[in-house]
Structure 1
């Protein structure tokens, strides 16, 4: 095998670099490999030589290419395949995580809800492939990867390719292509006409093992397992574990010996699994306990069970009718999509693509495939909405100087029409005659929703309750009576969905969560709202008076939501679009000895892997970097700037900001979630000394910096102003006296600690210094306007100070240019253009040269569509439990 590794290494040099062997299976050896063209880790799988010898390259490669067409949230797609030096190989994404087999070896059995969640995800992938005529043929725990907890089916179609390419010749001893413990009888008997029901059988075996701790049939040899399957009855789950009767019945049916006795599709199998659907019964031991209760208690318990069953059943609807499977399809392929909106007819997709700080508004004809660019947008988008009749597209947001923009575009391009500007977010009334807008900024009534009649310009205002918090986005109900709104608390890490009548009455919180939520979207019938939570699409029913009806339930899982945008739904409720991402970022260095226009940077990678990282922050001695890594939560790590292995500093997973080094480099300050409230905390870099500043109250989007004195400046809730905290005495004071002047972000202390460079959308009325941009504030008298200096206008970001404290580095607006601006204002000088496509960099002076510390976005985000996304919506039973 060592010889094979060397042959592979030599033959693929220039395309792939093999780093190490990951494992061996019945068909292939797997290597962790570096894709040199895209500089990413991949899994290279090389077929065993004896298998490759009998297959032949041409037919194997022809068959395996069919699997490259499978694009689904729960399928690891084929990246590459080929033949070289007598061996056959294929390449798939490398998943940082573990296989289901590894988890089962560690835990033995899984919780019922978790086992069903994994089964649902795999079934959705199988149905997607089966609808396209592709059968997996080797579903087993080893081929199910858990990427950030989400199941991903690996080697999809590989067994098919092997079988199709060499069925007549695979007779040599030792060539076991499929694991017998999960193989259906028809597959074991080499039945040539296999269909999706063989995968359903294998999936039922996997679910049985997740619940029981071992497959339904075991034995020392493949022959022994197959003999048991032929001669013994199907084992019952409830003999080894308490599960709902519906689960046992569904698994038993899916394990039927004859394909005709199983479910027609994997989706029907999953539908039959849902606990609480018809046939659910309380386990017998529970019935015996309840028989001893007093009669009154029995009646009360029975009433509770009925109520729970009604909730789980979705309050009625036809029972037992099979539902069509959801169908997933990718709509865009740029990898840079941050917002998408499906037209009411489902024929057009409007979307915003962002590269660097540049945003483009595009419309794609989903039938014809043509794409039209409508506009290059301002800096911050708020809402993107089709009019109810689909004739125009509404865009609301902020322009490059922080002013509101609200305009409509003809559906296929043309001159935009400006509309009244009352905020950065907007929603159409169901008849398209009125517009709701909100998000007032500094100098405007912030807690108002403005309703404008477009024909006349008449505008009325709805007051927002203080308890609602910051309203981010929303939707107008199909009935015309209600708004549904997404709000975040000012100081608590809480997200909420609210309803309010358009006359301002009846504020109701229908969902509250500690996990970020997407903006809500009403169902076409107006009886509920859909939203995204993590990787789930959820629905909460809403009564005619705006109140929640029951609890939220998941209707789709494993969506890999990007965290950007929300969902859009066609007028008939049949299709839904959202942004799906594969997020990852890594740290890089870029250096040049000759800063200035045309400067050439040499780049060095500091980290690898698919986890997301934050911007790195350099220690005072310039030897170490501190950053946040998102893996099992958000934690702080340090890394030598010369490279090496990251060292974990925090372990709570609750870090809510980038870290800031103490002036002596011995500690780090950061914001953290403490019981749902964002607090400032410090931790020693060496050791475990931690201190939480209990009186602090930070913004949920907290930013901070640490300067000599000592002084920690951190972002407060409300208008996102800053307070200066004494970490010794725990006293604090506002950075500026009037926090209504506008939001502040990205504070950077000067080298002497006496000034702060900050981005400020200062829009104070009647102020001659009113402007959005990079400001420098003197801490000697920061409450005095005379100590505030605008050094660079627009949406350019402050990046750092020059070593002498005389200038501030800023990133050019809408570009990758790095500029040096005098701290008292003046002409900006170009010092270089950062060399990465999508990155954020901090400049560090190095003698006469310049080093950039960068976090480079290596992820992708595209628009996806789900057809039949809520199959049970019409009957009221489409919620997964």
Structure 2
């Protein structure tokens, strides 16, 4: 009986072994089917002599530690055991290829791809090293590529073999490691090796990805080892002169003979490879001179990166002589399950004053948001305790304190962590931005108050700093860094207009700044940095005393992720001239899946697709697309013919809310709140007629119509007796608005049940957005459906379940509706690379036949960091 037959028979009750995938010096890999979980897996069976040398008990004991490794770039361990004397362990079956296969086909990789793969592997190694696990055999064969992302395999053998060691390994005639990628100390058989051995191996792999050959080659193993011990690799730039100098320096340091001369950690190596665009750039002198303001701090983050603003805007100052400045840029990776939500109504990033640390807002897979701290020389972030529900982070000028908003309060917490302290309460409304005026005072804006206010960081009385006319909202204050002025945005109620102002903290006198800006990121060396309504980053010299500009705005970057309806952008500036921003999703795809989550139809591609809805008969889909800036188009699509009808062909800049269908599928409804817009309207789904105004109260935004077409429910953009948190309803016959929900939660995304007797929606509870259902129009309280977070809700066609987004999954809550509604069970429906983090409107829908329509990001948004961009 062959080993294949022997092993197959021994595990037949749990796995069906289908075929051999490959074999190496230590194990044979088989493709198998997991009978219990109905999935394909890869099973590695150790060669009998190696298994005997290790011993089953020792191997299975040691491999338990490996099972604890959970990281997006580590192939996880699913199972392990002994079958008929053969030791094995089970991993997911990756339907991709190895890095070796890619290199054999392409020989050399594009520099950005090679560096990204190296950083991803380094991230995996850093995680394992912190658990005390050294891989010892990093090579292209052990790096799998799944949808382009690197996944490191074979941590399973590494720890067990490491601990078996000595004579046992000698008996097998095997050594752990591959000569071309072995460090000198490993090649010499030293047992006391550490993380720097893996750094060396990754350096060798990176060298090969860039040049097409490993740094050390030879006809025999002995020849290769001799070169590893005695020779220096050929210069990367000799082989490929397009490799940046800093990358060559990083790879060569990783390949240093002495461990002490290498990077001390894989994370440090990753950081060196994160700086591919380092270059010397000479700034252009500024003719318009002004007093150089003191450094300031700004807030914001998601998908995020720190980037240099522009080559011509570096080292800018008031003198005519500017020294060369080093600019570096890189993108940030986020750990598995960590979601940087889109369309957050607030700033999500903040730099520490020294530019060394980035704090940002993120949600875990349950939807719980909090602050995370990311030193920029580290490969991962750590959560900041006691910041649940946080938004609008801002460092104090001395860097010791972080202020933020959460759960109806403005709070502060020590930058190094600790207990959060309440500064002030605004339970009846929502804060629109905070900034530090000094180490002891904060300025903040509140939705609907028409006032910019100031409060001591110790609490106490609140005093006004600036005010606006009736119907205008003040938001997103940002200290100008000179200790004297504050920048802020004035926005009209419907979000159609936004104007930038500067106010003197001493006199309260405001001046308008004549630029097209959603908000200001700050002032650096006399230049205003702002984000425009067209998702572009600009700088322009400014006189803060008058608001007058000293030249023409200079475009620095395009394609920023913005939310024009509330005048926010995911970007921040440090007092040292570092920049972070998130790029918008510029490539997305609408797909239809079956009940099992299998994609059955790729409907359409666009730059940015939002809020898809099936028609009642499932034959059409209506969606929004955002091509540029604030221009939102609404389309319908015939699934059978593929023909699209554009219902808003004018692409008038402004705000349009998510579309929905009339109950008979003949019309599409949405709210047109742009400049000159007419509020809620509807139009024939095929676009044959013009827009007709729907009977509704003044100032209503998000709308949903009941199945009988008699009632609508929605939110107001601004209303005297409403703070923008609650849901209201009215009838088509009588547009008198009735309150459906009452604070303090902020409620979004209402959906009528198929029979019109219930409404499902989401609301924030202690910083976590949860799903609720309530009888319509009442009476009775709401019933909470979820405990672990929900981004948006959609009813099942039969009305017996509510679907909701959670992380990258769609979940279902089966409900029993009646006099006393109850939750029967919660279950997972499907998961994938879908954009499910929006909460203002649903980002998916379900048809009457149980199909799902979702938006998939073809290229997820990146967070870009630029260090020293403006120094």
Short-chain TM bin: 0.5 to 0.7
Matched, 1:690 2:644: yes
Matched, 1:242 2:241: yes
- Contact persistence 1:679–1:698 (CA under 8 A): no
Counterpart position of 1:748: 704
Counterpart position of 2:690: 731
Shift of 1:671: 1.0
Counterpart position of 2:286: none
State how far apart, in whole Å, the 1-side matches of 2:59 and 2:65 are: 10
- Contact persistence 1:352–1:359 (CA under 8 A): yes
Match of 2:436 among 429, 432, 436: 429
1:743-772 CA-partner distances (Å, limit 9, x unpaired): x33x433334x345433147522x7x9995
State how far apart, in whole Å, the 2-side matches of 1:398 and 1:248 are: 45
1:842 match: secondary structure: strand
Stretch of structure 1 that moved more, 668-677 or 472-481:
472-481
State how far apart, in whole Å, the 1-side matches of 2:484 and 2:153 are: 48
Q: 1:485 to 1:275 in 2, by over 3 A?
A: farther
Counterpart position of 1:654: 607
2:434 match: secondary structure: strand
1:413-434 CA-partner distances (Å, limit 9, x unpaired): 7887547988513424243444
Matched, 1:459 2:409: no
2:800 match: secondary structure: strand
Counterpart position of 1:48: 46
- Contact persistence 1:840–1:854 (CA under 8 A): yes
Runs of 5+ unmatched residues, structure 2:
282-309, 317-321, 374-381, 532-536, 559-567, 810-830, 837-862
1:802-826 CA-partner distances (Å, limit 9, x unpaired): 545465455688597754524xx33
- Contact persistence 1:839–1:854 (CA under 8 A): yes
Match of 2:667 among 711, 717, 722: 711
Counterpart position of 2:164: 165
- Contact persistence 1:817–1:834 (CA under 8 A): yes
Shift of 1:692: 3.4
Counterpart position of 1:204: 203
Counterpart position of 2:392: 383
Aligned pair count? 724
Counterpart position of 1:672: 625
Structure 2 matches for 1:714-863, cutoff 5 A?
714-716=670-672, 722-727=680-685, 728-729=687-688, 731-735=690-694, 741=699, 744-745=701-702, 747-752=703-708, 754-755=709-710, 757-761=712-716, 764-765=719-720, 773-779=726-732, 785-786=735-736, 788-794=737-743, 795=746, 800-805=751-756, 808-809=759-760, 814=765, 819=773, 821-822=775-776, 825-828=777-780, 833=785, 838=790, 841-844=793-796, 846=798, 850-857=800-807
1:762-785 CA-partner distances (Å, limit 9, x unpaired): 7522x7x99954444445x6xx63
Shift of 1:276: 7.3
State how far apart, in whole Å, the 2-side matches of 1:5 and 1:35 are: 13
State how far apart, in whole Å, the 1-side matches of 2:219 and 2:490 are: 58
1:170 match: secondary structure: helix
TM-score normalised per structure 1: 0.60
State how far apart, in whole Å, the 1-side matches of 2:314 and 2:724 are: 59
1:397-453 CA-partner distances (Å, limit 9, x unpaired): 676xxxxx5577997478875479885134242434443223534xx54xx744567
State how far apart, in whole Å, the 1-side matches of 2:641 and 2:247 are: 51
Shift of 1:334: 14
Q: 1:415 to 1:775 in 2, by over 3 A?
A: closer
Structure 2 matches for 1:297-308, cutoff 5 A?
none
State how far apart, in whole Å, the 2-side matches of 1:530 and 1:648 are: 41
State how far apart, in whole Å, the 2-side matches of 1:634 and 1:268 are: 33
TM-score normalised per structure 2: 0.61
Matched, 1:139 2:138: yes
- Contact persistence 1:427–1:435 (CA under 8 A): yes
Shift of 1:737: 6.5
Q: 1:697 to 1:276 in 2, by over 3 A?
A: closer
Q: 1:59 to 1:809 in 2, by over 3 A?
A: closer
Q: 1:240 to 1:103 in 2, by over 3 A?
A: same
Structure 2 matches for 1:210-609, cutoff 5 A?
210-217=209-216, 222=221, 226=225, 234-238=233-237, 240-244=239-243, 246=245, 250=249, 253-254=252-253, 258-259=257-258, 263=262, 265=264, 267=268, 271=272, 382-383=391-392, 396=405, 406=410, 412=419, 417-418=424-425, 424-438=431-445, 440-441=447-448, 445=450, 449-451=452-454, 457-461=462-466, 475-476=478-479, 479-481=482-484, 504=510
- Contact persistence 2:466–2:503 (CA under 8 A): no
1:461 match: secondary structure: strand
Q: 1:857 to 1:177 in 2, by over 3 A?
A: same
1:101-143 CA-partner distances (Å, limit 9, x unpaired): 4554564432223333443554566567668865432222344
Counterpart position of 1:289: none
Q: CA RMSD of the aligned region, Å?
A: 6.8
State how far apart, in whole Å, the 2-side matches of 1:168 and 1:498 are: 75
Q: 1:698 to 1:706 in 2, by over 3 A?
A: farther
Runs of 5+ unmatched residues, structure 1:
281-304, 364-368, 400-404, 532-538, 554-562, 580-629, 862-868
Q: 1:333 to 1:420 in 2, by over 3 A?
A: closer
Shift of 1:47: 4.5
Q: 1:179 to 1:803 in 2, by over 3 A?
A: same
- Contact persistence 2:21–2:30 (CA under 8 A): yes
Shift of 1:679: 1.3
Shift of 1:856: 4.5
State how far apart, in whole Å, the 1-side matches of 2:372 and 2:82 are: 42
- Contact persistence 1:635–1:648 (CA under 8 A): no
State how far apart, in whole Å, the 2-side matches of 1:791 and 1:761 are: 12
- Contact persistence 2:395–2:436 (CA under 8 A): no
Q: 1:440 to 1:213 in 2, by over 3 A?
A: same
Stretch of structure 1 that moved more, 829-838 or 189-198:
829-838
1:199 match: secondary structure: helix
1:365-396 CA-partner distances (Å, limit 9, x unpaired): xxxx999979xx9xx86535677789998554
Shift of 1:670: 0.7
Q: 1:434 to 1:665 in 2, by over 3 A?
A: same
State how far apart, in whole Å, the 2-side matches of 1:738 and 1:871 are: 45
Counterpart position of 1:609: none
State how far apart, in whole Å, the 1-side matches of 2:178 and 2:490 are: 50
Shift of 1:680: 1.3
Shift of 1:705: 0.9
1:109 match: secondary structure: coil
- Contact persistence 2:454–2:462 (CA under 8 A): no
